[in-house]
Structures are given as structure tokens and as C-alpha cells.
Amino acid sequence: MCGRFTIMIQPEQLQLELDLGSISSSLIFMKDFYPGSGIPVVVNAESRDVELFYWGLVPSWAKDVSIGRKMFNARSETLLEKPSYKTSFLRRRCLIPASGFYEWKNTNGKKIPHYFSLKNENAFTFAGLWEYWMDAAGNELYSATIITCAANQLVLAYHDRMPVILNQENRWKWMEDRPIAELSSFLLPYESDQMQVQMLQME
């Protein structure tokens, strides 16, 4: 799973490393993101602008936004089986920029956070889905979820799932109109030897 991630670089560097467009002034960098918070999302492969979305997918048919708290992750293996994710997988795929994510490991009765990032410490993008929702009063909400897959060998020591990190070759292909089988082939664990982990102490 992925319940917390971060962007520990400045907006200008993020734009350069990921070849992005403009970045919403509402986004706060150098911080952690968690379900229910505003997260960076790219939904347009042409402009590549980074917008602010609610983390937790809220389907158009939902009665209220509370459902999003349970839908901050989507399992890659069942995207086409779940009504909540199927349409988004077919029509509303997105990228979620990040520089690292956390997993917790129980050590001597304490949950210790571990921070995963790329060895080159560059920014990367999670594979995501997005949705549009509006309540009876006309209030609009754009939301997103991060897709997860089976963990690679590095992450497996801490959790059996990990967020799907798209490599540079597949990053923008994920946003294009491509066969389902090809899109599904992108949703694999990232290479262990290209990642690193660091144990942290957090309050």
C-alpha cells in the first residue's frame, strides 16, 4: 500500500526532472502527503500541468466524500473488476509526482518508518487514477488514487504491496490511449536495484 509520500525537492527541480508544465500555487512542497490531503496530479499529457487533487478517489455516484478515505489506493490486479476503478482506468489515468514514500516496520514493539526513494534521488511518478464529483449544492471535487502492485524484493521486507512507479519510458505512455493489455503491463514493481531505503525517526 501507499499511505504517505513526499516531495522533498523544489518545484523548479520537479518541473525539470519530470518535464512538467506549470505547477499549482496551492501545492506545498517539502512536506508529506497523506490520504485526505491535497496532492499533486497530472491529468493532461499535453500541457503536463500539475494540479491539486484530493487524495482518495470519490466516484461520481458517491453520496459524500467520506468514501475517499477508503480509496486512496487501488490494487492493479483488480482495476477492471471494481466498478469504482474500472471507468477511471479506461478513461481517467493520471500521474502523481513524488520523491519518496514511507512504509512502517514493527521493531521491538514499535512501528518504525522507513523512507523509500530512487538511488539517484530523482523525482518520479506514481501511476494513478482520477475522478470528478459534485454534490447537490454544486460543490466540485477532483480526486485521485495511487495504484499499487506486489512489492519488489526491497520493499517486501517491510510490506507486501508498493505503489506503482512508472519508469521514464512508460510515464507518458500511461496517459495515452493504448490497449488495456499494454496499460496493464506498466503496472509492475519497480526494479529493486534502482531503489534505496532509509530508516527514520518520526514523531
Check if 2 is active-site: yes
- Strand 38-41 versus strand 31-33 pairing type: unpaired
Catalytic residue among 2, 51, 94, 131: 2
Task: Give CA–CA dist 194/77, Å, rounded.
Answer: 23
Check if 203 is active-site: no
| Residues comprising the chain, all counted | 203
Phi, psi of 136 (to 5 degrees): -65, -25
Catalytic residue among 51, 94, 103, 131: 103
Q: Which residues contact 192 (CB under 8 A, 6 or more apart)?
A: 152, 153, 154, 155
Residues marked as catalytic? 2, 103
